[in-house]
Amino acid sequence: MGGYIFILVLLVGMWFLLIRPQRRRQMESQRLLQSLSVGKEIVTAGGLYGTITALDDDEARVKIADGVEVRIAKRAIAGVLSEDEEPKELEEESAANLP
């Protein structure tokens, strides 16, 4: 009887340590993909910053510079930047150009 309780406690512990956090990350990722819209500033998993110009079912077109647009998989979008957040590279360039 004691062995069964130990196995049950072990299984419940594994659920809390492995499965539950994975489900939470999956739900957050799903919410991120659903919140995407044209004009939002994003960062990709590869570190590219840009603005969404078009959305399809599985991919997005992202403007990363003037005249440069790339096609990426939606799953490659790591996050959406808020309006007050600016990429660090741009902040450093702006600071270097100040008199």
Say how far residue 18 (Cα) sits from the centre of its chain: 20
Q: How confident is the model at residue 92 (pLDDT cuts 50, 70, 90)?
A: low
Per residue in 58-88, pLDDT (tens digit) is 999 999 999 999 999 999 999 998 765 555 5
Phi (first) and psi of residue 76, to 5 degrees: -80, -5
Q: Where are the domains of the chain?
A: 1-34, 37-99
Contact 52, 40 (CB under 8 A): yes
**What is the biggest distance separating any 2 CA atoms in the chain, rounded to whole angstroms?**
77
Query: In this structure, which topology does domain 37-99 adopt according to CATH?
Result: SH3 type barrels. (2.30.30)
What pLDDT was estimated at residue 20? Answer: 83
Q: How far apart are CA 45 and CA 78, in angstroms?
A: 5
